[in-house]
Structure 1
Amino acid sequence: MRSAARHREVRHAVQALRAIVLRELLRFWQQKTRLVSALVRPVLWLAVFAAGLRNVFGVAIIAPYDSYIPYDVYIAPGLIGMVLLFNGMQSSLAMVYDREMGLMRLLLTAPLPRWWVLLSKMFATALLSLVQVLAFVAVAAVLGTELPVAAPASLHALFATLACALMLASLGLLLSVYVRQLENFAGAMNFVIFPMYFLSTALYPLWKLEESGATWVYRVAQFNPFTHAVEWIRFALYGKDPGIAPLVVLGTLVVCFTLACRGYDPQRGFGALAQRGTA
């Protein structure tokens, strides 16, 4: 009896995961301009910005590369990170919208552990991020920026991308605890997206920051989890050791998800504190 009940619980949890993921995929499919808008930013950076600085790193060989590289090849992993970052933050907007419309209340009152519902939402976001990344890599190849996606290390690169997508989705989940209304979303994102992106190695290596004398930018970039996300993807693409990057990414994922679960707990989380403060 106990094993049968346990089996029903597991089956119910898997069905809930599938339902949430399919809902997000269906929403993505119905919003046909969403993929285009997700690709506009990184493609513009690749086609316009990188074109003017194509040979800026031709004077040095930097890890994980074994030879001189054009600038568009260097920033491609950073632009993959951009896709993951913006989709993770867009998931935060979707969570706020669902909460205002009452959909999240229905999900969170389902006979399932709260953490499993949030994990399902996070996994759906990461899956959509991977779809957008694959589309960006295809467009980049058309533009002449080819990444070693068919190399033996491609599975490591795929896992790194998925882990980074989950980390940024967990960050979006945590932010949705604090962003109480849609009107406040744009302002909150300006304090998250742009600092995380520009204070990282997405556009320039750390040694360039240190060499230029931007010491504080260099220090902040070292502690920025998005830096480690980009570096993990970059090193994984070329089959090199990413150092501590996986530990930072996975550690940030666990911390953000744990805090988000606590925040969505009406008894002890940040949501409850916010409600008390506005009461």
Structure 2
Amino acid sequence: MTAYLTALYAITLREALRFTRQRGRFVAALVRPLVWLVVFAAGFRAALGLSITPPYQTYITYDIYIVPGLCGMIVLFNGMQSSLSLVYDREMGSMRLLLTSPLPRWWLLTCRLIASTVISCFQVYTFLAIAALYGITFPLLGYIAVLPALVLAGVMLGALGLALSSTISQLENFAGVMNFVIFPMFFLSSALYPLWKMAESSALLHDICALNPFTHAVEVIRFALYAQTNWTAAGWTCLAGAVLMGLALWGYDPARGLLQRKG
């Protein structure tokens, strides 16, 4: 058990030190959601009306609605950044040294997943603090209750990044993966518009958004910010996380996964 905890501490500390030295990564993680919050939300505030739907008890403005979705955006992009660092480590050889340690491969990948989730939570709370200065606040209990929701979303989206990193052979391919995975997941979700708005536009779009795992991660965060639990969304997020983690473990298995095919 000591060896397991030592590995967890070492990997988490390494990722934290890497994050603190990459200040541009931290700034970029905040600029994206802040642009949506300050610029786009201001334009849509008067144009888009939102009805009273759970977890909201009254009519809300658009900027309040999109904050949970922007929190999900931060977690999503950080998960992809973590997958990029995995590809870099594999090219530099440090990933091979890590995976050849005597500890089980699944635990080493889980440690990377936990480290990525810790960084995501820090980024989200920083964004929520800036949003509070902007005038968008939530119940005090919600700031505490959202932590388990962020961990759940971070694990699921981090597992997505792990699964994708096993399929990326070169850093140059990462931009294509971002365009093919990140942006469809973000825009085809309830992060920017409620699902009933999607249904008014297209029933097919509504069904696609409802099947999107990112939608359920956003809804878990949205309800948690009001100290509520969306058990359906939480269940689907857990299921998606388990499936994606299974794919990641298979992809990094040299006997059966994608690493064997590359070899």
Task: Give me the whole-angstrom Cα distance separating, in 2, the residues matched to 1:208 and 1:261.
Answer: 37
- The answer to which of 234-243 and 110-119 deviates more is 234-243
Task: Give me the whole-angstrom Cα distance separating, in 1, the residues matched to 2:29 and 2:216.
Answer: 22
Residue in 2 that maps onto 1:215: 203
Could you tell me which of 233, 236, 240 is aligned with 1:248? Answer: 236
C-alpha distance after superposition, 1:156-186 (max 9, x if no partner) = 3210111101110110000001011101110
How many residue pairs match? The answer is 263
Task: Give 1 or 2 for the bigger CA radius of gyration.
Answer: 1
Residue in 2 that maps onto 1:62: 53
Alpha carbons 1:73, 1:147 under 8 Å: kept: no
Runs of 4+ in 1 over 6 A off after TM superposition: none
Task: Give me the whole-angstrom Cα distance separating, in 1, the residues matched to 2:34 and 2:145.
Answer: 24
Task: Give me the whole-angstrom Cα distance separating, in 1, the residues matched to 2:195 and 2:239.
Answer: 22
Could you tell me which of 183, 186, 202 is aligned with 2:175? Answer: 186
Residue in 2 that maps onto 1:234: 222
Is the partner of 2:117 in helix, strand or coil?
A: helix
Task: Give me the whole-angstrom Cα distance separating, in 1, the residues matched to 2:144 and 2:254.
Answer: 40
1:115 has 2:106 as partner = yes
Task: Give me the whole-angstrom Cα distance separating, in 2, the residues matched to 1:170 and 1:56.
Answer: 37
Task: Please give the residue correspondences for 1:7-46 in structure 2 after superposition, counting only pairs within 5 Å.
Answer: 10-46=1-37
Task: Give me the whole-angstrom Cα distance separating, in 2, the residues matched to 1:211 and 1:16.
Answer: 50
Task: Give me the whole-angstrom Cα distance separating, in 2, the residues matched to 1:165 and 1:56.
Answer: 32
Alpha carbons 1:56, 1:71 under 8 Å: kept: no
Alpha carbons 1:38, 1:132 under 8 Å: kept: yes
1:74 has 2:62 as partner = no
C-alpha deviation, 1:154, in angstroms: 4.0
Residue in 1 that maps onto 2:148: 159
TM-score (norm 2): 0.96
Q: Which amino acid aligns with 1:249?
A: T
C-alpha deviation, 1:273, in angstroms: 2.6
Task: Give me the whole-angstrom Cα distance separating, in 2, the residues matched to 1:41 and 1:215.
Answer: 29
C-alpha deviation, 1:142, in angstroms: 1.3
Residue in 2 that maps onto 1:206: 195
Q: Provide the identity percentage.
A: 53
**Is there any run of 5+ residues in structure 2 with no aligned partner, and where?**
none
1:100 has 2:91 as partner = yes
Task: Give me the whole-angstrom Cα distance separating, in 1, the residues matched to 2:242 and 2:122.
Answer: 23
Task: Give me the whole-angstrom Cα distance separating, in 2, the residues matched to 1:232 and 1:56.
Answer: 26
Task: Give me the whole-angstrom Cα distance separating, in 2, the residues matched to 1:171 and 1:146.
Answer: 30
After superposition, the CA RMSD in angstroms is 1.3
Task: Give me the whole-angstrom Cα distance separating, in 1, the residues matched to 2:49 and 2:174.
Answer: 40
Task: Give me the whole-angstrom Cα distance separating, in 2, the residues matched to 1:266 and 1:131.
Answer: 33
C-alpha deviation, 1:58, in angstroms: 4.3
1:263 has 2:254 as partner = no
C-alpha distance after superposition, 1:173-211 (max 9, x if no partner) = 000010111011100111110000000000000101112
Is the partner of 1:238 in helix, strand or coil?
A: coil
Could you tell me which of 133, 136, 141 is aligned with 2:127? Answer: 136
- The answer to which of 89-98 and 52-61 deviates more is 52-61
TM-score (norm 1): 0.91
